[in-house]
Protein backbone atom coordinates (compact mmCIF):
# COMPACT_ATOMS: atom_id res chain seq x y z
CA UNK A 1 0.00 0.00 0.00
CA UNK A 2 2.85 2.36 0.86
CA UNK A 3 4.57 1.64 -2.44
CA UNK A 4 1.33 2.05 -4.38
CA UNK A 5 0.55 5.41 -2.80
CA UNK A 6 3.77 7.17 -3.85
CA UNK A 7 3.47 5.66 -7.32
CA UNK A 8 -0.09 6.94 -7.62
CA UNK A 9 1.02 10.32 -6.32
CA UNK A 10 3.86 10.43 -8.82
CA UNK A 11 1.60 9.32 -11.66
CA UNK A 12 -0.98 11.89 -10.61
CA UNK A 13 1.73 14.55 -10.46
CA UNK A 14 2.97 13.55 -13.91
CA UNK A 15 -0.58 13.64 -15.24
CA UNK A 16 -1.32 16.95 -13.50
CA UNK A 17 2.00 18.55 -14.46
CA UNK A 18 1.55 18.28 -18.25
CA UNK A 19 -2.00 19.56 -17.86
CA UNK A 20 -0.82 22.41 -15.67
CA UNK A 21 2.06 23.18 -18.02
CA UNK A 22 -0.29 23.20 -20.99
CA UNK A 23 -2.66 25.63 -19.29
CA UNK A 24 0.00 28.27 -18.50
CA UNK A 25 1.51 27.72 -21.94
CA UNK A 26 -1.87 28.30 -23.54
CA UNK A 27 -2.42 31.32 -21.30
CA UNK A 28 1.00 32.67 -22.26
CA UNK A 29 0.25 31.98 -25.90
CA UNK A 30 -3.05 33.81 -25.51
CA UNK A 31 -1.28 36.72 -23.79
CA UNK A 32 1.42 36.77 -26.46
CA UNK A 33 -1.27 36.54 -29.10
CA UNK A 34 -3.21 39.41 -27.51
CA UNK A 35 -0.15 41.65 -27.31
CA UNK A 36 0.73 41.34 -31.01
CA UNK A 37 -2.97 41.81 -31.72
CA UNK A 38 -2.97 45.17 -29.96
CA UNK A 39 0.34 45.99 -31.65
CA UNK A 40 -1.16 44.98 -34.98
CA UNK A 41 -4.16 47.18 -34.25
CA UNK A 42 -1.79 50.07 -33.53
CA UNK A 43 0.16 49.28 -36.69
CA UNK A 44 -3.08 49.12 -38.65
CA UNK A 45 -4.04 52.48 -37.19
CA UNK A 46 -0.61 53.88 -37.99
CA UNK A 47 -0.52 52.45 -41.53
CA UNK A 48 -3.71 54.24 -42.66
CA UNK A 49 -2.25 57.43 -41.17
CA UNK A 50 0.97 56.91 -43.16
CA UNK A 51 -1.09 56.19 -46.25
CA UNK A 52 -3.08 59.35 -45.63
CA UNK A 53 0.16 61.31 -45.29
CA UNK A 54 1.49 59.71 -48.47
CA UNK A 55 -1.75 60.50 -50.26
CA UNK A 56 -1.53 64.08 -48.99
CA UNK A 57 2.05 64.27 -50.25
CA UNK A 58 0.94 62.88 -53.60
CA UNK A 59 -1.92 65.38 -53.69
CA UNK A 60 0.51 68.17 -52.90
In the chain, the number of structural domains is 1
Tell me: the pLDDT tens digits for 14-46?
A: 666 655 555 555 655 555 555 555 555 555 555
pLDDT score at 35: 55
Domain encompassing residue 30: 1-60
pLDDT score at 21: 57
60 pLDDT tier (thresholds 50, 70, 90): low
* Model pTM score: 0.15
pLDDT score at 28: 57
CA distance 35 to 22: 20
- DSSP at 1: -
Number of H helices, E strands in the chain: 1, 0
Residue 31 CA from chain centroid, whole number: 4
CA distance 38 to 22: 24
Amino acid sequence: ANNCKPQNSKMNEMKVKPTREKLPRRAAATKNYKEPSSSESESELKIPTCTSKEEKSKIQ
